[in-house]
Amino acid sequence: MSDIASNIRLLKQQIPQSVKLVAVSKTRPANDILEAYNTGLKYFGENRVQELLSKKDLLPPDIEWHLIGHLQTNKVKYVVTFISMIQSVDTFRLLKTINSEAHKIGRIVDCLLQIHIAEEETKFGFNMAEIDEMVRSVEFSELKYIRICGVMGMATFTDDSLQVQKEFRYLADCFNDLKRNYFKDSEFFREISMGMSGDYMTAIREGTTMIRIGSLIFGERSKQNKPA
Ligand SMILES: *Cc1c(COP(=O)(O)O)cnc(C)c1O
């Protein structure tokens, strides 16, 4: 068995069947992705539009691609035709752009609201006050070509597992509040995307429904080999 296949097997032994595994394939060549796909994985996450576009045509068409990195509004049109889920919706403006591009092609696009839960300034995302304001607006209620499927967050990059646990618990609380206040009747609003290679066990304890795993599947990413 290849390293990738055995990494996936080990990982699957540790996660409940109800938790979706998104293989984060950024910086990895198509061959590695195919190897992971051949073990039965179907969700793959990329963070850059250009890289995603260049790889997806080399790979099986039934892969469900998730966009997990910051998306510029001018690039929405390139992914909206095929993307399975945009996990990194971090502004109302971006959501409106996704809606209007999706409208043009008559497709409904699944989205997660990325919430800022980390201490670091650099991570993108809404705060809850912004989401409340957005979701209550008339404009939001008129968006017919997007479907809000839940929330996504990235914890602080730290060895302090209590800190990470606190942040994941906060994200789960945000999900529950949003569900109760605005999405009670939505069968689609059900995902909490949290947990990466270093903190997925904590995320599972805190109620994740979707973990995003890169290095534990494909090995460490080398910064030098980053494609342009
Ligand atoms: C890179 C990335 C991951 C995966 O990181 P690993 O530590 O390699 O598992 C998950 N989520 C997002 C948003 C990422 O950018």
Q: Give the residue extent of every domain in the chain.
A: 3-218
Cα gap 213→11, rounded to integer Å: 9
Distance from residue 24's CA to the centre of ligand 1 (Å): 6
Q: What are 121-143's pLDDT values in tens digits?
A: 776 899 999 999 999 999 999 99
- Count of residues in the chain: 228
The mean pLDDT value for 80-109 works out to 98
State percent of the chain over pLDDT 90.
Answer: 93
Question: What is the rounded (10 degree) CA torsion for 52, 57, 61, 65?
Answer: 0
Which ligand 1 atom minimizes the distance to the CA of 213?
Answer: 9
Domain 3-218 has CATH 1.10.260.40: no
Cα gap 17→19, rounded to integer Å: 5
Q: What's this model's pTM, rounded to 2 decimal places?
A: 0.95
Cα gap 68→66, rounded to integer Å: 6
Ligand 1: residues within 6 Å at CB? 24, 26, 47, 68-69, 154, 196-198, 212-216
Distance from residue 139's CA to the centre of ligand 1 (Å): 32
Distance from residue 103's CA to the centre of ligand 1 (Å): 30
Handedness of CA 5, 10, 13, 15 (dihedral sign): negative
User: In the 3-class helix/strand/coil scheme, how is 146-199 assigned residue by residue?
Assistant: EEEEEEECCCCCCCCHHHHHHHHHHHHHHHHHHHHHCCCCCCCCCEEECCCCCC
Q: What are 149-202's pLDDT values in tens digits?
A: 999 999 999 999 999 999 999 999 999 999 999 999 999 999 999 999 999 999
Which ligand 1 atom minimizes the distance to the CA of 152?
Answer: 13
